[in-house]
Amino acid sequence: MKQSLSLLALACALAACSAAPSGADRAESTGADTPTDKTGTTTGASTKLTVYSGGYEALAGTQGASVGMPGYALVGRPLRFKLKSGRNDVSEQSLPPAMDIEAALLQPQGGGVSVIGQRHVSAVAGAQNVIVVAIGRKVSVEHTAGGAKQTDSGVLISANNGLTLALDDGRVKVIRSYDSFSLIDNDNLLPRQSSLQWTVNADKAGDAEFLLSYPMGGMAWRAEYLATLAPGGGCKLALDGAALIANRSGGAFNGARLSLVAGEPNRSSNAGLDRIQVSAARLQADSYAEMPAAALMPVERAAGEYHAYDLQQAVTLANGSTERIALFPRNGAVACERIYSFASADNDWQPPTPLIDRDYHGQLGDLPVMSKVEFNNDKASGLGLPLPAGRVRVFDGGDFLGESALGHTPANAQIKLELGKVFDLSGKREATAFKLDRTGRTITESFAITLKNAKKNPATVRVTEPLPRWADWEIVSSSLPSKKKDARHAEFDVAVPADGETKLTYTVRYRWPQDVKP
């Protein structure tokens, strides 16, 4: 095996090793909040963990942790070091692999202490790194010469185009190919774990408190809702909300204080690392204040342009786990509306001029009738909460009706959940007439929608018709009353008898002014 190493790699490796603090000068870590000796594991209820929504689905199936992976979290960890007066070297090895090292910041929490410098030392990984670090050290090399195994020991003086050894007898030997390589004079030279190291100056000896803050990937959350329809007439539902928190960061957090932020802040890219620029003081402020233990539900609060949920009790998030935590108490009587919906798909594009092509009429033919549940997120309906984005599963008693995605929804907004196709209802849409009058600057067209009901009970279907040709339109005739839903749609409520059918017909007319040329 031939090995060649660049001068740049050699210089970088030697610089990293020479910058590492020696055992004699290194300050001792002390206190109950010191992390365990397991890589990436933090302990103590003082650790503050803020997890942002977004990226949950991409993260949940991820195997292995790395920098730049999906998800985003901010970590604030208290550290305590025993310092001597003057210059000290301190370090921390409990680092999750998904940590953004470049954004890590250590801040003293008291006066008389200052952080002079910070460096990151990576764990040695692979033969190339070991060889680079071994320059100038005594090594043992096994190789094959003339079909026979040989072992040579000496000081490694070069690793360019093979290995160059200064042997014990004074000779210099170049080994172009070798089978194995051993570092004899190790003296704990090779770091087995990544670490952050700091040079700290203290006015006097004693214990000093610090806050280590950093962002990392590998953690994300989303909401999970359960809506259960109440039996009987009318429409009432019970709504339960929980948070699903995925930890794939490569580190475990034991007894951490957790905040969940519903929102996706913009991030800037730097060397492939996504980062939210935040102040460490924001992590520090009120992070470790005692909270009442009586209320177990998270406390919702505004967090800048987003909403945050502060958990009242410490949590443990093991690496590779998905934790479920209730977001709010069950809302047991939310007023709702069950709807059968028939709609022809269209887009929200607003044409700059009238669309006069006869074939621009939306979907035709057999189309499904969809089941929906709608309700207002307001206090009058029994809700009125900011609802983070997530999945809503809807049940009618013990029967699963379907599920729907819910975006971030503020209070007083309307919620529409599309659950699936209705088995016993069907519809057909036909274009029956079209007339373009260029002189009168109008388009008149007609449609027929036939709805069939195989149920044993009558059903009302809400038909939403797209009117995409131009913004100025009116329904000039229809077999059933219509209402304007918005600038591009009209709605009809169509009653369909049991084991029967109903046909809806209507005519729409578009007009445009003289200065508009279609």
Name the percent of the chain in helix, strand, coil, to the closest 5: 5, 50, 40
Q: Using one digit for the tens of pLDDT, what is the confidence trace for 389-409? A: 999 999 998 899 999 999 999
Specify whether the CB–CB gap between 283 and 76 falls below 8 A: yes
Nearest partner of 383 among 403, 341, 413, judged by Cα = 413
Beta partners for residue 92, in sequence order:
196
The stretch 438-457 carries a mean pLDDT of 97
Quote the pLDDT of residue 140.
Answer: 83
**Angstrom distances, CA of residue 504 to CA of 429, 451, 463, 465, 478:** 9, 8, 9, 11, 7
Strand partners, 411: none
Q: Which pLDDT does position 128 carry in this prediction?
A: 62
d(CA 312, CA 293): 6
The pLDDT score that the predictor gives to residue 269 is 53
Q: Is 420 exposed, middle or buried (0-12, 13-18, 19+ CB in 10 A)?
A: middle
Q: What is the pLDDT of residues 160-183, one digit of tens each?
A: 888 888 888 888 888 888 877 777
The pLDDT of 362-372, averaged and rounded, is: 95
**CA–CA separation, 342 vs 453, rounded Å?**
13
Residue 78 has pLDDT above 70, yes or no: yes
How far, in whole angstroms, is CA 380 from its chain's centroid?
33
Q: How large is the average pLDDT for residues 244-265?
A: 89
Q: How confident is the model at residue 191 (pLDDT cuts 50, 70, 90)?
A: low
Has residue 126 got a pLDDT over 70?
no
Spatial contact of 82 and 27, defined as CB atoms under 8 Å apart: yes
Tokens (6 digits) for 425: 């209802």
Residue 64 has pLDDT above 80, yes or no: no
**Strand duo 390-396 + 219-229: pairing:** parallel
User: Pick from 332, 302, 328, 321: which is nearest to 223 by CA?
Assistant: 328
Q: Would you say 417 and 394 are in contact if contact means Cβ atoms under 8 Å apart?
A: yes
- Nearest residue to 160 (alpha-carbon basis) of 4, 13, 8, 7: 4
Rounded CA separation 393/417 (Å): 9
Is 277:304 a contact under the CB 8 Å cutoff? no
Alpha helices in 258-329 (DSSP H): 280-284
Query: pLDDT at residue 94 above 70?
Result: yes
Q: Supply the pLDDT for residue 8.
A: 33
Between 222 and 96, whose confidence is greater? 222
3-state per-residue secondary structure call for 87-122: EEEEEECCCCCCECHHHCEEEECCCCEEEEEEEEEC
Q: Does domain 336-377+420-511 have CATH number 3.30.420?
A: no
Judge whether residue 39 has pLDDT over 80: no
Under the banding of pLDDT at 50, 70 and 90, the label for residue 478 is very high
Confirm if 74 and 50 have CB atoms less than 8 A apart. Answer: yes
Check pLDDT > 60 for residue 44: no
pLDDT category at 42 given cuts 50, 70, 90 is low
Beta bridge partners of 27: none
Of 55-64, 284-293, 347-356, 439-448, where does the model show the most confidence? 439-448
Cβ(502)–Cβ(369) under 8 Å?
no
> Which CA distances in Å does 472 have to 29, 233, 351, 509?
74, 40, 12, 9
Q: What is the mean pLDDT of the chain?
A: 83
Distance (Å, rounded) from C-alpha 150 to C-alpha 26? 41
- Residue 259 pLDDT > 90, yes or no? yes
Q: Cα–Cα distance between 318 and 258 in angstroms, integer?
A: 14
Task: Write down the pLDDT at residue 356.
Answer: 94
| Both tokens assigned to 215 | 């962002």
Q: Treating both helix axes as pointing N-terminal to C-terminal, what angle do 7-19 and 127-134 enclose, rounded to 10 degrees?
A: 70
Tokens read off for 380? 């009058």
More confident residue, 458 or 55: 458
| End-to-end Cα, the chain, rounded Å | 74
* pLDDT of the residue at 372: 95
Annotate 365-423 with DSSP letters as a single string. Answer: EEEEEEEEEEEE-SGGGT----B-SEEEEEEETTEEEEEEEE--B-TT-EEEEEEEEEE
Residue 496 has pLDDT above 90, yes or no: yes
Residue 271: pLDDT above 50?
no
The mean pLDDT value for 444-454 works out to: 98
Identity of the amino acid at 286: D
According to DSSP, residue 380 is labeled G
In a 13 Å sphere around the CA of 258, the CA atoms on its Cβ side amount to: 30
Return the domain boundaries, the chain.
336-377+420-511
The pLDDT, as a whole number, for residue 11 is 35
Residue 28 confidence (pLDDT): 56
Residue range 41-54: mean pLDDT, rounded: 78
- Alpha-carbon gap, residue 341 to 416, rounded angstroms: 11
Give yes or no for residue 312 having a pLDDT over 80: yes
Q: Per-residue confidence at 190, pLDDT binned at 50, 70, 90?
A: low
For the segment 480-485, the average pLDDT, to the nearest whole number, is: 95
Q: Is the pLDDT of residue 273 over 70?
A: no
Q: Percentage of the chain surpassing pLDDT 70?
A: 81
Are the C-beta atoms of residues 307 and 386 closer than 8 Å to each other?
A: yes
Cα 506 from Cα 427, distance rounded (Å): 16
Q: Which residue has the higher pLDDT, 267 or 149?
A: 149
Look at residue 368 and tell me whether its pLDDT is greater than 70. Answer: yes
Query: What is the DSSP code (8-state) at residue 379?
Result: G
Q: Is the pLDDT of residue 61 over 90?
A: no
195-205 confidence digits (pLDDT tens):
889 999 999 99
Write phi, then psi, for 394 (nearest 5 degrees): -115, 130
